[in-house]
Amino acid sequence: MKMIALKKGLDTFLEALVTVSMAVLTIDVTWQVITRFVIKHPSNWSEELATNLMIWVGLLGAAVALHRKSHLGIDYFTNRFSERRRLVTELVVYALVTVFSVGVMGFGGLRLVSITFMLGQLTPALKIPMGYIYLAIPVSGFFMTIYAAEFFVEAWGKLRRTRSAEAAAVHLKTKSIHN
């Protein structure tokens, strides 16, 4: 029960973070347009802030999309599969997403963040350490790992129930033939 509450808290936090980041991004881009075209004195920091926020919104938004199962998929093929084949396909997809989000986004992202902090690389206008910008990669990987693992376990459970139901149906059919 505590795990469910913790996960719901993480879900809420992630969606709130993406929403707030998107709102700040919208305000920043509006400010950028006003300073460039109305005031005729473009802001030198707002473009960089917009770029950095877009990185965070894009990566965290990918995790939200995975959570909502709203990533682009090719349903044309999987809708033609049997229930069992569709579940096996889901297992493979979620296993691959988990491996990618742990390996590339998690470990690779943390390595990139670590190296960037060690080198002291800063953004040009805002002078923010680039490590904070790149931190979006492992943070997104963390959330994607949680969601992909959750959906993997769900698909595994459904596949086991499908196998049990198929076995029971075969048993009943065999029993009725012999009677």
For 91, the token pair is: 């297992």
pTM value is 0.86
Domain ranges, residue 43: 2-178
Letter string b/e over residues 126-156, b meaning 16 or more CB atoms within 10 A of that residue's CB? eeebbbebbbbbbbbbbbbbbbbbebbeebe
pLDDT digits (tens, 9 = 90+) for 122-166: 999 999 999 999 999 999 999 999 999 999 999 999 999 987 766
Rounded mean pLDDT for each run of 10 residues along the chain, 179 residues in total: 90 97 98 96 95 98 95 79 92 97 98 98 97 98 97 95 68 60
Give the number of domains in the chain: 1
